[in-house]
Amino acid sequence: MMRTIILGSCVMVQGHYVKTLSDGRIVIKVDGRLMAGRPATQAKAA
């Protein structure tokens, strides 16, 4: 499953979901590299 994470204040990265860490961050795999960050939230419909 593809997931989006936020790195820093304005960088978003998409990749394949790997796992959820105990502190709430998620790990994704992008081009063979593992990256951890806060999950991007979905925008609420108006």
Q: Tell me the pLDDT of the chain (46 aa) as tens digits.
A: 999 999 988 899 999 999 999 999 999 999 999 999 999 987 666 6
Residue 44 pLDDT = 62
Residue 40 pLDDT = 92
Q: In angstroms, rounded to a whole number, what is the distance separating the alpha carbons of residues 46 and 32?
A: 37
Residue 41 pLDDT = 82
Residue 9 pLDDT = 86
Asked if 13 contacts 35 with a C-beta cutoff of 8 angstroms, the reply is: yes
Q: In angstroms, rounded to a whole number, what is the distance separating the alpha carbons of residues 12 and 28?
A: 12
pTM of the predicted model, to two decimals? 0.82
DSSP state of 24: S
